[in-house]
Every structure is written in C-alpha cells, then in structure tokens.
Amino acid sequence: MTYSSTAIVALLVHCIINNDVIRNQHYRNTTPAGKTYRLLVLSVAAFYISDIFWGILYEEHMIAEVFADTVIYFALMAATVFLWTRYVVNYLQENSWLNKALYYIGWFFLAAITVVLILNFFVPVMFWFDEEGVFCSGQLRYDFLIIQVIMFMFSAGYVLFISKGKNKSEKRHHRAIGLFGFAIAILLGIQVTNPLLPLYTVGWLLGTCILHTFVLEDMKEDRILELEEMLLREEKQKKELGSARQLAFRDSLTGVKSYNAYVEAEQQINERIASGELQEFGVVVFDVNGLKLMNDTHGHEAGDRLLKDACHLICAMFKHSPVFRIGGDEFVVLLEGEDYQHRMALLADFEWQAEVNQRNGSTVVASGLSTFSPGEDNAFRKVFERADARMYDRKRFLKAKE
C-alpha cells in the first residue's frame, strides 16, 4: 500500500486542480490545444488509477492480475507521452519541421509500445514476473523509458527555443511547459534504474501543477480581461445601435413591428424550416378596407386613424402573436404557441367582428389564414401566399355584402 499511496494522493490533487478540465468546462475546451489537454488530463488520471491498483496487486502477489495491470500501466504511460507531444504541437501551432517531427515521433512511439505490449504476451521482451512474483524488467522497458526521457527533453527544449520571440506572457507560459518537460524527464530518468519508485507519477503530479499554476491560470486571467473588454465594446455598440434598431423595426404610426422586422422574422422562420426545428406555425394576412377612399375624401389624418383602429382590432384579437405592418394597409400576424392552437376560433371571432363593424359603418379588416405543411412547404413565402389569396377571397366576400 506504500507504493499506491503516492498515486492516491496524486489522483486526488490531480482531480481537484483540474476539476473544470475534467468536467469539460474549461474556456478553451473547443480549441485543438484545449481538447488535447483534456484528453491528457483524463489519461493521466487513468494512469494514476492503474498505478494505485498495481501497488495493491503487487503486494498481494496476484500475478495474473498485476500482469494485466502492468500492460495497462505501460499503455497509459505511452498514451500520456503521446498526448503530451500532441498538446505541445497544438499549443505552439508552429508550421515548422520540428513541430511536424514531434507530431510523427509521438505517433511512432505510441504504435511501437502497442506492438511491443502485444508481443510481450508471447515473448517477455518488456517485462515479466518470476516464480516468486517479483517484477522483472526486459531490455525494451529500459529502451522505451530512455526514449521517453529523450522525447520529454526534446519537446521541452523545443518549447523553450520557440519562446525567444514571444511576448512576456507567452514566454512565461512556454517556460512553464518547458520546465514541466525537463522535470518529468529527470524523474523518469531516475525511475529507469528502479521500477518500484513511483517517480513517473510524481513527475506528472508536479507537471500538471506547474501547467495549472503558470499556464492555465494565467490564460484564464488573460481571457477574463479580454472578455471584459469585449463586453464593454458590446455594451457601447448596443447603446449606439439600440435606438437606430428600434426606429427601423417599429412602425412609427401604429407602434407594431415594421416591414424590416417582418423581413428578419421571415428569414429566421426559413432557417428554422430548413433545420427541421419548426414544425407548426400559421400566417394571417390582413387588409384594411376603404383606406384609399378615406384618404381621398377625408384626408390622410383620417386615413391614419383608420389604420390605428384596424391595428387595434388585430392586436386585441391576437394578443400573443407578433403583428407586422408590411404595407400601407396590409398587416401580418405570425401564429405560434397558444394563438396557433386557437387559430380557428380567433379567426372566426375576428371575421364576425369585421361583419359587425361593416353593418355599423365602422372599421372593416379582411383576413386570410394559412398554416405550414411540413411535407409541402419549404419556405415561409408559400404559406404567406396562400394566406394572402384567402384574404382577397374574404375581401371580395365583404365587398359583395356592402
């Protein structure tokens, strides 16, 4: 249990300091470097778990089980080295032969370890356990550990070399990554001579703490400052654009949404139709009867009052839907949710009110409704055209009743 205690502590510290990375809530989780770093953190955690079981199984002399865990141990060790090289490559984003060399070296190392571990089941070239259950190292174990030391030293030196032309903050990050590489290379070099020392575990614990303190935390602070600046700029832009947008998207006469807002709404509906998100909606087209006659006989002020009265009728009936004025005497209502579910009753009430108003000599508005058919309609315009045609049918019907 003495051997396993180091890995247990390492696992606990690792999970605490990398909590946001493990839960995939790190702010860089969508970048290549961020994705690779998360995989690296997870693989290191898996390595610690394997190391914990190795110590327990080895002390209990469970040879078959510890043999299987040793295979997993070396496989996870190879995965951490591979992901470390990938992280360095993705973090630096340098288009150089050294970057490409490090990339391919990582792949080659992972493939070589995999082949050797499979071969070791048949020929003990990597490791074995003697009759008394004592761990024995093969020559290839030493060779691969030395190769790992070289890879860590090479990647660390490469990162430090690249840091020369960087700014102060980036240079600090590069040096921290380089320090990590050198630290784990030194500890791994010591472990070459004694396989029962958990120095590789200690190296990763030290390394992830260095990265968390000097790279990730610094980058979080930089990101916070960047976001604060972005928020200030956005707030300023909102204030500048707010009044202009309000004027552009609000009809000055009636107070309902304007034609510009209607165009934007149509575009959004078309996008939702294309994505399959929108499965049901309705369109009601309205036309105010007698506007031209009112303007010609009583003036435009009277015509404006007629439009306001008509708009009031529409808004009062379709309380839960957006109303747009898209032309001189034409309005459109988009039906979703509650108004869509009660569309036939709402339209019937509206048409009844229009006929009552016609008999009383009050404001008359013709209306036409159409609903979206997912199997037939591929654009908002088709639904609108059907509603528009029905509105004109209704207009002719009302005209005939005068």
Residue 330 CA to residue 289 CA, distance in Å, equals 10
Q: Tell me which H or E stretch contains 6.
A: helix 2-17
Q: Label residues 238-261 b or e (16+ Cβ within 10 Å = b).
A: eeeeeeeeeeebebeebebbbbbb
pLDDT score for 158:
81
Residue 276 CA to residue 274 CA, distance in Å, equals 6
- pLDDT tens track for 24-69: 766 566 678 778 888 888 999 999 999 899 889 988 889 999 999 9
The mean pLDDT value for 1-23 works out to 83
pLDDT score for 332:
95
- pLDDT tens track for 268-307: 999 999 988 888 999 999 999 988 888 888 888 988 899 9
Of 90 and 69, which is predicted with more confidence?
69
Residue 257 CA to residue 209 CA, distance in Å, equals 56
C-alpha closest to that of 328 among 397, 258, 389 = 258
Give me the residue label for tokens 């575009």: 267
The mean pLDDT value for 154-167 works out to 79
Residue 96 CA to residue 160 CA, distance in Å, equals 15
Stated length of the chain: 402
Domains of the chain: 2-227 (1.20.1070.10), 259-400 (3.30.70.270)
C-alpha closest to that of 69 among 56, 53, 81 = 53
Intra-chain end-to-end CA distance of the chain, in Å: 98
Q: What is the DSSP letter of 165?
A: G
pLDDT score for 375:
82
Global model pTM greater than 0.75: no
**Radius of gyration of the chain from its Cα atoms, rounded to whole angstroms:** 36
Whether 92 contacts 80, CB under 8 Å? no
Whether 259 contacts 326, CB under 8 Å? yes
Angle 318-324-329 from CA coordinates, rounded to 5°:
100
Residue 119 CA to residue 246 CA, distance in Å, equals 72
pLDDT score for 216:
63
Structure tokens at 330: 């034409």
The mean pLDDT value for 362-376 works out to 92
Structure tokens at 102: 């490090």
